[in-house]
Amino acid sequence: MGNTFGRAFRVTTFGESHGGAVGVVIDGCPPRLPLTEEDIQVELDRRRPGQSAITTPRQEEDTCRIVSGTFEGVTLGTPIAVIVNNKDARSTDYDDIKDTFRPSHADYTYEAKFGVRNWQGGGRSSARETIGRVAAGAVARKFLAQERGLEIVAYVRQVQSIMSVVDPQVVRREDVERNILRCPDGAAAAQMIALIERMRDDGDSVGGVVEAVARNVPPGLGEPVFDKLEADLARAMMSLPATRGFEVGSGFAGLVMTGSQHNDAFYYDEEQRVRTATNRSGGVQGGISNGENILIRVAFKPPSTVRKAQQTVGRDGTAITLEARGRHDPCVLPRAVPIVEAMMGLVLMDHFLRHRGQCGAR
């Protein structure tokens, strides 16, 4: 019913924004992987609300508990369940709008589909659901790092029209974490933060782009035709709240090139490995990884909840002028960075296990 992602590495998230808890069940994780709650908590801390002046002020510790699937610090090969209790829910913030369809939210569409909805904080459509994704992504990324030395780094590339200058081949996690925006370009980050603060003070919001790179990806991941690696990456990213666009490699910029300009020429390196001189393909050709870095970009729209007055309607058809209350992000990008990393990790983990099962270790 749309709550499960992956085939060999299957992830099912559960919970609502103002319910008792949110979490995830992970099925297909290989046994004997060293795993503790601390491995997951470090990523949840990067995603959690209230971490800076440019994120939602909702105060949640987001402390996780592993309740199944591990024993004496290692995975058992059985389903891993991770749960995070909601502690700072303020459902009364939504009492006045429980019968209102908020502009560009999922209020109307959920009610149109199910005939019922949880109006407290958006319920299941809230970005709080991504806690489960980040927890599962932490497990996937630990396995891939241990097994292949694979690393994933995401960062804020653009806020509205302000662009950063970042080299995805060399950017490090430490560079990303140097400021509250998670943009490695310090000069651009300062301008971006100032813009977000102006939007927040004006009761408005702003969007932008998160870029992510995966390094040490083995060649051969991905399937022909419908399960192409970039297709699954696109599906993963476009399943995230507030996403509106996806690019891999050169993306839309490749449209202005000729074929001869865009092609990635092959050569053998000193270790006699097949490499490409350029990487406009973004590490994927024919839907299968070629061993180069995988580079993607994800566009996020401005958050829909703003304090500015907007026109909408209620369930009974009454015209309403809405001025939203509650605690919301003026820009989702800083907290989206670890979520994009998590989803990229889930896709690569799933395809790694599928490739290993089909073709054996190489």
Query: Would you give the DSSP letter of residue 303?
Result: P
**pLDDT value for 93:** 63
pTM above 0.85, yes or no: yes
- For the chain, which residues score pLDDT lower than 70? 58, 88-95, 121, 325-327, 361-362
**pLDDT value for 326:** 59
Taking the C-alpha atoms of residue 273 and residue 192, their distance in angstroms, rounded to an integer, is 41
Check if the beta carbon of residue 120 is closer than 8 Å to that of residue 179.
Answer: no
Tokens 């490749």, residue located: 254
Read off the tokens for 73.
């610090």
**pLDDT value for 111:** 85
Check if the beta carbon of residue 294 is closer than 8 Å to that of residue 281.
Answer: no
Whole domain around residue 207: which residue ranges? 4-359
**pLDDT value for 306:** 84
Convert the pLDDT of each residue in 235-276 to its tens digit.
999 999 999 999 999 999 999 999 999 999 999 999 999 999
Check if the beta carbon of residue 207 is closer than 8 Å to that of residue 300.
Answer: yes
**pLDDT value for 317:** 84
Domains contained in the chain, number: 1
- DSSP-assigned beta bridge partners for residue 5: 11
CA nearest 299: which of 201, 180, 210?
A: 210
Q: What is the 3-state secondary structure (H, E, C) of 268-295?
A: ECCCCCEEECCCCCCCEECCEECCCCEE
Beta pairing class for 10-15 and 243-248: unpaired
Helices (H), the chain: 37-47, 107-114, 130-148, 173-176, 186-201, 229-238, 259-262, 333-359
Tokens 């490995």, residue located: 273
Convert the pLDDT of each residue in 204-228 to its tens digit.
999 999 999 999 999 999 999 999 9
Centre a 10 Å sphere on the Cβ of residue 287 and count the other Cβ atoms it contains: 17
- CA 85 → CA 14, 30, 63, 359, distances in Å? 12, 27, 7, 41
Q: What is the CATH number of the domain that holds 259?
A: 3.60.150.10
Q: Is 38 exposed, middle or buried (0-12, 13-18, 19+ CB in 10 A)?
A: exposed
